[in-house]
A and B are shown apart, each in its own frame.
Chain A
């Protein structure tokens, strides 16, 4: 493909006929001589005719080539043109809007060229070619409503090129309907009625949705000229870290926490013996990845121990590939030192192990690993939800007769917010009230409605093979350990007509396979119903080792979950609300990848009176980069406080399937969109408008000039 920046000058190549015309005219402007030694003249010409003809032809061709090449050179030809040359400088004054896709996928490296760098080069070239009367606007897909440059005059070249060079790749996702909607607002604010929008993108299918049609129709009506410059590589291979998620509900200081990384091999190569780097608070550990076949997803289990409570950061980095942006994930982890377990004793006793809570407190008296893990608090049933008490991570109702209506209401809220609730049934328990208060329509806490105590001799417990489950550890026990469990009295439940997220985790080995432990997920919290007592009144399980394991695991599995609210996708709003009666000052941000700390503004929030004191909002203005954001602030005499936030790459950007031009045009119908390609292969020198070959032509012209001179002298010498 060949095109010209000054196409009119190509007509000048017709002047290549000049040497031919001169040659022909010369043949007409001859002298006539009456010649005597004709014989010798003829003889000489005959002997030299072929040489003379070849020489003259070569000379003629050289001179024609010289002129043709000269005008070819002046017409500024470009190889593999993108068509941008025609885009520049046509028509009257116009508003030139350039939208650069700075989403994560634009970081894909094909050969030696990164798509985003190509996009910047093209944008720079477009602005360099802008006419003085044009107004130029530069937008990015990550922040389309905040122009990098807005209505800058075409004469301000330095500002334009500075604006382009200041752009950085982000880890955001380009959702084109939303992006173009924002661009539309910018277009409306443009000065000139002639508006030209150039979108420079890699044309990945993800993000192009039918929502763009409405905008396209609007632009079609408003005669907005739209061009899409495709800088995306056609053949792609990508290995991405899709996610890094905790498997445990709570992350405790000093205790091992289980994590799982999801790695997708979207390439044609087999990944073997690759090493990933796991960092806890920037301390790296090498992790050997399993073999991952092409087009396969691997789940990699990880075990992490955080040294203390408070905010921590965790990251996993897999080997870098063509798209490095999705090879790393960061997690901001708020680590607790222990869980507060509040045991409500429905049948207190002063005798050792006379109360049910004694059997519950015993398994929780030993920590987990080096962690203290549990703080057990026993309260009477009268005031177990007092606001004076610290919010419990797990509330255990052990044979409690019945909560009041108010308590039930409060319980419902607390469980929805994440608190774990475990109910052990018993003789004191009022099934009617429980059903009324804790199994209400729209506010069900119990997994099933209770039917009443059933006297029955049961031997054995069956753990349901459901995963993940708070009791899944019991599956690892020998069958005999559970077969020994004997029950004499259980609470019958009505399994029929269950609603919501309910499942049975363990069953009694009775003919009806009655549920032994059932779970309901309510909001962020979980409710575990045990259909027996926590003491030996109705069963012997509390004295079995499996009970110890079951209680410990159930507490961990039902406890208020560690909140990962500080983990966002790049580009999402990041704000820290600090409730404090102290003066909040000197809010700072240490952005991802280090760099200079940035000052943040702390804005008081007009919230109603709160127990936690006045609220101040610290907002991070730009979260488009992936990584760890460390926010710190001074809080009066409490000193400097800090919190971590993690912004992760949008996993949708790892999907590199391309959208076809025809499909794209169809989506943008009736807008007449020009789609041009500005891709390069390998290490070929990239030019935004194709490969301009003036320097090769200039060299050729020089060589031709020298050759012509030498040849003309050689031919013209007397022979």
Chain B
């Protein structure tokens, strides 16, 4: 019997099995799928009427309306398409941190990727994977097969997070590589140069890509729960710092909250979703909440 993928979480998959992850923007898919396409034609969903103008395809003229109102209206349909989803996963050393939770941030992120990939491939959406630290060290182009999920899982299992996080630079290079509008799911702790990161987001936005930022954090990183004298060693470097956390815990928590709020605010400004995951939260529940909330937003009037 084949070993199940390491990052496959059956509970999480079961919880999100009847949910969908939809793009909030128009996507250019080659096959029909769950996502709205910018192309209008004969396909599935009626979109709107508009008055006929010379040059329009007469096949799209709505004769029934003409019969009733003696006016020429063109019937427009919204084409549904699939979306190319690329998971951009932070594989820097900081993702190795594991506090009191059972999973490290990278493990949690990987499980997140696998669970969402399974969901997306079921929706006929092609999924790809980019693992990065200071640069992209693994790039898997999108494909909408079950085998793709297995490949991605394998890549994640084999990955050993190391080096620093350079997310901003990576995004810049990715914009050059993405030819079609895509959904980029960035999974990272965001301990990176935020200014460069926001530049990258700006470019992605300019090119019409949708970004979903899933920020994975350990609870310790936000709450700093240590009491006694502690030497903090930079997980991505050599620097060491001696401190007694009780003396400035609240100040640190405020600084972290400012950081998290800042990321959320900047994403919001660009129309991108920012979702925070803590490694001590059950992944299934967290994903379910996230997907539900996204569906709710999707159903709201556009």
Enumerate chain A interface residues (CB-CB to B < 8 A): 26-27, 29-45, 47-48, 52, 55-56, 715-716, 718-719
16 residue pairs of the A-B complex, CB under 8 angstroms, read: A30-B231, A30-B242, A31-B226, A31-B228, A31-B229, A33-B226, A33-B232, A34-B233, A34-B235, A36-B189, A37-B94, A37-B256, A38-B234, A38-B235, A45-B248, A52-B247
Q: A40: which of B229, B246, B252 is its contact (CB, 8 Å)?
A: B252
Q: B233: which of A35, A39, A45 is its contact (CB, 8 Å)?
A: A35
A715–B233 CB distance below 8 A: no
Whole-angstrom CA separation of A261 from B105 in the bound complex = 111
Q: Which residue of B lies closest to A52 (CB)?
A: B247
Whole-angstrom CA separation of A44 from B244 in the bound complex = 12
Beyond A31-B231, A32-B233, A34-B235, whether A40 also contacts B256 by CB under 8 A is: yes
By a CB distance below 8 angstroms, the chain A residues around B230 are 30-33
A36–B228 CB distance below 8 A: no
Q: Interface 1/0s, chain B 218-247, versus A by CB < 8 A?
A: 100100101011111111110101111011
Beyond A36-B94, A38-B239, A56-B247, whether A43 also contacts B231 by CB under 8 A is: no
Q: Does B97 contact A (CB under 8 A)?
A: yes
Q: Does B101 contact A (CB under 8 A)?
A: no
Whole-angstrom CA separation of A48 from B252 in the bound complex = 10
Q: B249: which of A31, A32, A34, A718 is its contact (CB, 8 Å)?
A: A718
By a CB distance below 8 angstroms, the chain A residues around B229 are 26-27, 29-31
By a CB distance below 8 angstroms, the chain B residues around A44 are 248, 251-252, 255
B242–A37 CB distance below 8 A: no
B251–A36 CB distance below 8 A: no
Beyond A718-B246, A719-B251, whether A36 also contacts B191 by CB under 8 A is: yes
Question: What's the nearest-Cβ distance from chain A to residue B73, in Å?
Answer: 58
Question: What's the nearest-Cβ distance from chain A to residue B134, in Å?
Answer: 15
Q: Does B250 contact A (CB under 8 A)?
A: yes
B237–A38 CB distance below 8 A: yes
By a CB distance below 8 angstroms, the chain A residues around B233 are 32-35
B252–A35 CB distance below 8 A: no
Q: Does B259 contact A (CB under 8 A)?
A: yes
Question: What's the nearest-Cβ distance from chain B to residue A368, in Å?
Answer: 104
Q: Which residue of A lies closest to B220 (CB)?
A: A33
Question: What's the nearest-Cβ distance from chain B to residue A670, in Å?
Answer: 65
A39–B191 CB distance below 8 A: yes
Beyond A36-B189, A41-B243, A716-B246, whether A48 also contacts B251 by CB under 8 A is: yes
A27–B246 CB distance below 8 A: no
**8 Å CB interface, B243-294 against A:** 243-244, 246-252, 255-256, 259
B241–A41 CB distance below 8 A: yes
Beyond A27-B229, A30-B242, whether A37 also contacts B247 by CB under 8 A is: no
By a CB distance below 8 angstroms, the chain B residues around A719 are 247-251
By a CB distance below 8 angstroms, the chain B residues around A715 are 247
Whole-angstrom CA separation of A39 from B105 in the bound complex = 18
By a CB distance below 8 angstroms, the chain A residues around B221 are 36-37
By a CB distance below 8 angstroms, the chain B residues around A37 are 94, 189, 191, 221, 256, 259
A34–B247 CB distance below 8 A: no
B243–A45 CB distance below 8 A: yes
Beyond A35-B235, A38-B235, whether A29 also contacts B228 by CB under 8 A is: yes
By a CB distance below 8 angstroms, the chain A residues around B248 are 44-45, 48, 52, 719
By a CB distance below 8 angstroms, the chain A residues around B96 are 34
By a CB distance below 8 angstroms, the chain A residues around B239 are 38
Question: What's the nearest-Cβ distance from chain A to residue B20, in Å?
Answer: 33
**Nearest 9 A-B pairs (CB), nearest first?**
A36-B94, A30-B229, A35-B232, A719-B250, A44-B252, A38-B234, A34-B235, A48-B248, A718-B250
Question: What's the nearest-Cβ distance from chain B to residue A58, in Å?
Answer: 13
Q: Which residue of B lies closest to A45 (CB)?
A: B243
Q: Which residue of A lies closest to B259 (CB)?
A: A40
By a CB distance below 8 angstroms, the chain A residues around B249 are 718-719
Question: What's the nearest-Cβ distance from chain A to residue B117, in Å?
Answer: 25
By a CB distance below 8 angstroms, the chain B residues around A38 are 191, 232, 234-237, 239, 241
Question: What's the nearest-Cβ distance from chain A to residue B89, in Å?
Answer: 16
Question: What's the nearest-Cβ distance from chain B to residue A22, in Å?
Answer: 11
By a CB distance below 8 angstroms, the chain A residues around B243 are 41, 45
Question: What's the nearest-Cβ distance from chain B to residue A37, in Å?
Answer: 5
By a CB distance below 8 angstroms, the chain B residues around A52 are 244, 247-248
Question: What's the nearest-Cβ distance from chain A to residue B170, in Å?
Answer: 18
Q: Which residue of A lies closest to B256 (CB)?
A: A40
B255–A40 CB distance below 8 A: yes
By a CB distance below 8 angstroms, the chain A residues around B244 are 52, 56
By a CB distance below 8 angstroms, the chain A residues around B232 are 33, 35, 38, 41
By a CB distance below 8 angstroms, the chain B residues around A36 are 94-95, 97, 105, 189, 191, 218, 221, 235-236
